[in-house]
Each structure stands twice: as C-alpha cells, then as structure tokens.
Structure 1
C-alpha cells in the first residue's frame, strides 16, 4: 500500500495555521514574514513528526534554482581536499544547498567532463579546485555567466573570485624556519607544474634562502610529475641526498609528495631529523603517527571552505556583487622533524648515535 505524501496542508491543519505560514517557515522565510519563534518551532516539529519531504523538483521549476552546488576538487585521496570537501558540504547544507562532489585527479580532461555533467544537472554554481591546463574551463564559465568561485588555486591572469592560501608566504616561512634551526643546505621537492600556487611555493622557498644569505643551488630543487609521483620522488631523493649535492633539510611542497618521500627515507634508513630535517605543506593525522612528528604548514582549511561557500552564495543571491579575492595565511606548526640542529646534536651525543 502506497503511503500518502505529507503536504503543507497536512502540517497547517495539525498546527492550526494557514498553508502560507507553513510555506514561509519551511522555506526559511519566517524572519521575513515575522513569524514568532514559538509557532515556527511548532511547525518544524510537526513537519518532522509527519516526516515531511519537500518537493525539490517543484520548487526548482518555480524558482529556476536547484539549490545545488557543484564542487570539483583536484584529488579526493588527499586528506586536505577530502576535509575541505566536508567543510564545503556542511557550510552549504547550513545555507540550504546540496553539494555534488567530483574529483578530477589533477586531470584537466576529467575536470572538463565533470563540469559538463554538473552543468547538465543544472547546479546553481561551482566551487572549483582547478587542475593544470584548465584555464579554458574558467573562461567557459565566465562567458556563460555561470557563478563560480576558485578554491585553493587560481589563475593570476584571469579575473575571477577566489579563496586561496598565501603560498609564497607559507613557503617562505618554511625556509626561514629551517635556517633559524641551523639548516644550511635546504632542498625542495615540488610538482613539475605551471600552476600558480606551485610556482609561488617555489618562489617563496628561493626568496627565503636569498634573504638568509644562502646561495641557492639548482640541484636542491626537484620537480616531479603527479602521474609518476612514486618513482620520481625516489629519484629526486636519491639525487638530493647524493654526496655531491647532499642537503641537510627538505621541504615537501604537498602532502602527497611528503608521504612518498617519507616512505622512501625509511627504506634508505635515513633518520629524521638527524640525517634530514623535514617540513611539509598540508596537515594530516599521519604526520602525528610518524616516528618523528612532522613539522607542517597548516592551511586554514575550515575558513577556506566556508568562505568559498559564502562567496558563491553571495553571487547566487546577487549576480551583480563585486569580485572577491582573498589570500589566507598558513601557520607553521613546528615539530620534532625540524628540531634545531644544536638540540639534536646534543641528543645524539647523549644517546651515543
């Protein structure tokens, strides 16, 4: 036997109020219609009791809006992006929106496919963590006047709304931190990429060395390809720890690079920080579980996600709203992996290492 779908009329009859009043409350407009808090609470409780399910299709047809947001992220396997997706989802839900999530695996073609699928699903707007070579997708959205906000990554030559980390400053801070801890030959493992955020991390690293009167050596910088990360990280570490260009500290430009690098350092039986000081971008529980807790750059993940949602919803409500662009600061969390050389040398002597 088919159960009868609960309607606004059913709620109104049980609450002893008009259907219009119930409609205002269920659409979150009780403040606009000056509905008292008690009656609004009563209506919501009755709706929950009757298991009322709103007809989103009918609502979408009336308003021309689906109250859905398309979120395209670079790599769902990366804890940073997985966690930021959760923040976006929670903040969107708080504002009455549903999020459809897709991961492009750092692939522009896959990102394009996801974009078209979500446009066909009639999402109201997008939050996008861009992949390399996806500038044409940004231009496409601009030309079609589809609202979007770029998250974590942006293209400096394209005027768009974006919410991102100040990658130059974060990388600069990592370099200066290591220098102050006594490290003098500092390497960087980064992705071989034309993406602006990666270029900024490399620029910040180089500037930190320059300002610390340390001459940068070309062999200290290793750039690897995302699609061949494991093999190329190993090759990079072999080169960067070889006697002719041996470094005493390493900065990993992403969490994924750090994980692959730390695994290989273990295989090589190189001890952190005694053989190599370490700082990494990104935050993850695994950094706490490593035998030597890893110093990392904590990006303001929650604030990034919430702000991106707020910016997008602002554009959806007011298409003429001005462009918004913001860079947020990362915080360096110092742990044992970048312990000052003077400290670990003393510890090593005591331990007889």
Structure 2
C-alpha cells in the first residue's frame, strides 16, 4: 500500500493540510514552525514517502526541471560544477537538463531558447562572452536565473563566482615573492569573463610590483590543453624566455607540462608553473602543480539557494556574490636566488612576435 498524507499526519500529530504544505515547500507561506516541519519530514522519511514530482509539477504548473548551460562540459571545473549542481537541486526535488555551449554564443542562444520552450522552472548559466542581449531578454521574461562563474556589474542578474582577479593576484604575487620577474600568462578565450578577469589580476599584480608588462609574455586563445601546449612551445623559443608560466586554467597547464616534457625543460628546475583551477588530479601530477582552488561545491550550493529563493519569490533583491579563492602550494615553483634576479634581462622582447 502506498503511503498517504493521512498516514504521515497521523504519525506527526498534525493535519493533512499541514503535511501537504510542508512536503510541497509551502511552509514559509503558511508560517509553519521549524519543529513541525521537522516532525513531518521525519515521519515521511520513516514511512518511506516520496513526493511525486510529476503530480506536484502538474498541480503547481511546474516541470520540476532546471536548465544548466556551461561552455565546456569536458573541462574538469564545469564537470564538477554540474555534478554539484545536480546534487543540490536533487535535494530540492529538481532534475537538470544540461547544455554544452562549446564556448559559442550562438549555441548558448539556441540552448536558452530550447530550455525556455521546455518550460523549465529556472536556469543556471555560465555565459560565453560579454554580449548580454540574450541574457537580458531572458531576465525580462522573469524566468528565474542565476549566473555561475560570472559576475557582471552591469548585468542585473543573480550571480555567484570566485574572485578571479584576486585568484590571479595570489598566483602572480607568489611567483614574484619567489624571485620571478619574467612571468608569462597563457590565457583562455579572450573576451570571456573568466579570461578577462584573470588577465586583469595578472596585470595588476605585476603593476603593483613595479614590473613592466611584456606583451610577448601574454599568449593563448582558449581554455583547452592544445592551447597550453602550443603557447608554451612559443614561450620557450623566445630569445628572452620567461622563468615562470601562469595558466588561466588547468587544461592549459596540462598542455604546458607536455610541451616542457617534449623540450626537456624541467619543472620547476628550468621553469616554474602555476595554474588557475585545482582539479583533484593536480596534486598527482609530476610535479604536483601549485594551483588556485575554486570552492566549486560552495558555488553550487549558493547558486541553487539563490535560484530557489528566486523561484519562491521573484521580488527578492538580486544578489552578486564573489567567493575567495585559495592558493595551494605544491612542487611546481622554484625560488630564484637574488643573484639570478639581478641578472634577469629587462622585461621586454621587441625582436619576437607571436
């Protein structure tokens, strides 16, 4: 026999209507006490009751589905983020529909249109580029939406991201403190939020240290490993090569490691390496790579909480949250002696072009 609301009400010592309100997430609307909510949920759990998401959705004109759009599902950061989002949303009674935009604004636009047509209850979007036309159109429809890994001041949308500028500054300042002055930056896709804010942090750290910015030490065009491989080979061929490389993402760092290996360049003996993003495998690489860690689970938790609040009450004030990154120091950076620092050539290389 299936468990009924009446069965739960009897065990919890409350009315059937109270059970219905608690299990269908209307406890705030009806000011039900935390003690009563706990009693009802414990009784439901002990009896093995499960909310019928389809039936609930039909009653409330909801699909119980959330659309998630990320630029590259193969990227370890976004793979873990999607997994964390799915777990957080599952607890709230939602399933997810995932789209990979392949870092293409047109694919993202098509995905947004498709998800809206599917009448999803909300969206979690890691948008590509900085053209907000489509995002603004979605926002104006009052579709509940949260942006992750992006936080634009000029866009009035709920968002949660790590502080990319601070993360880059942590990485570059660490290299500077270890004696490095010629620090290269292998960037991701130009024009994207993650890339531009990480580039900003790189430049800011150099500027604060009084180190001129050498345009020849900034290279790259996407967040994939082949970009890291090609640009590292380019940097190693400079007549005045860098003593350290900072990469905008972990896949770029993998390509950099491979290029160094092919060229018999030892890390950290010959060149130091730090990367943004810190996937589980970073500590198992040879050498273990110093990295900037993003609090992915916390990003997912806060994104889902913000989205749930927006679904519950669209009048809530929109929030923008920046979380602090963490520098995890491992074995990929060598300290340069004071003598070596003095002998480093000027931070320019006018005879080389990309």
Q: CA, structure 1 residues 62+245, in 2 after alignment: closer, same or farther (shift >3 Å)? A: same
The answer for the alignment partner of 1:333 in structure 2 is: 328
Q: CA, structure 1 residues 39+190, in 2 after alignment: closer, same or farther (shift >3 Å)? A: closer
Q: Tell me if the contact between 1:8 and 1:22 (Cα under 8 Å) persists in the aligned partners.
A: no
Task: Determine which of 53, 58, 62 is the counterpart of 1:56.
Answer: 53
Shift of 1:54: 3.9
Task: Determine which of 92, 96, 102 is the counterpart of 1:95.
Answer: 92
- Secondary structure at the residue paired with 1:341? coil
Q: CA, structure 1 residues 16+89, in 2 after alignment: closer, same or farther (shift >3 Å)? A: closer
Shift of 1:233: 3.4
The answer for the alignment partner of 1:44 in structure 2 is: 45
Q: CA, structure 1 residues 320+13, in 2 after alignment: closer, same or farther (shift >3 Å)? A: closer
Q: Tell me if the contact between 2:289 and 2:332 (Cα under 8 Å) persists in the aligned partners.
A: yes
Task: Determine which of 257, 264, 267 is the counterpart of 1:262.
Answer: 257
Q: CA, structure 1 residues 187+14, in 2 after alignment: closer, same or farther (shift >3 Å)? A: same
Q: Tell me if the contact between 2:225 and 2:253 (Cα under 8 Å) persists in the aligned partners.
A: no
The answer for the alignment partner of 1:122 in structure 2 is: 119
Matched, 1:220 2:217: yes
The answer for the alignment partner of 2:343 in structure 1 is: none
Q: CA, structure 1 residues 139+338, in 2 after alignment: closer, same or farther (shift >3 Å)? A: same
Structure 2 length normalisation: TM-score?
A: 0.84
Give the Cα separation in 1 of the matches to 2:90 and 2:40: 23
Task: Determine which of 302, 307, 313 is the counterpart of 1:312.
Answer: 307
Deviations, residues 267-305 of structure 1 (Å, cap 9, x unaligned) = 222110111101000011221221111000011212111
Deviations, residues 101-152 of structure 1 (Å, cap 9, x unaligned) = 2222212222222222222222111111111265222112122111111100
- Secondary structure at the residue paired with 1:338? coil
The answer for the alignment partner of 2:243 in structure 1 is: 248
- RMSD (Å) for aligned C-alpha atoms: 2.8
The answer for the alignment partner of 2:32 in structure 1 is: 32
Structure 2, gaps ≥5 residues long? 341-354
Q: Following superposition, which runs of at least 4 residues in structure 1 exceed 6 angstroms of deviation?
A: 12-18
- Secondary structure at the residue paired with 1:336? coil
Deviations, residues 31-60 of structure 1 (Å, cap 9, x unaligned) = 8277485675344333x2xxx554433322
Q: Tell me if the contact between 1:239 and 1:245 (Cα under 8 Å) persists in the aligned partners.
A: no
Structure 1, gaps ≥5 residues long? 346-353
Greater shift, 309-318 or 31-40, is seen at 31-40
Matched, 1:322 2:317: yes
Task: Determine which of 138, 158, 162 is the counterpart of 1:141.
Answer: 138
The answer for the alignment partner of 1:112 in structure 2 is: 109
Q: CA, structure 1 residues 21+75, in 2 after alignment: closer, same or farther (shift >3 Å)? A: same
Q: CA, structure 1 residues 276+309, in 2 after alignment: closer, same or farther (shift >3 Å)? A: same
Give the Cα separation in 1 of the matches to 2:242 and 2:216: 9
Matched, 1:159 2:190: no
Greater shift, 231-240 or 105-114, is seen at 231-240
Matched, 1:209 2:194: no
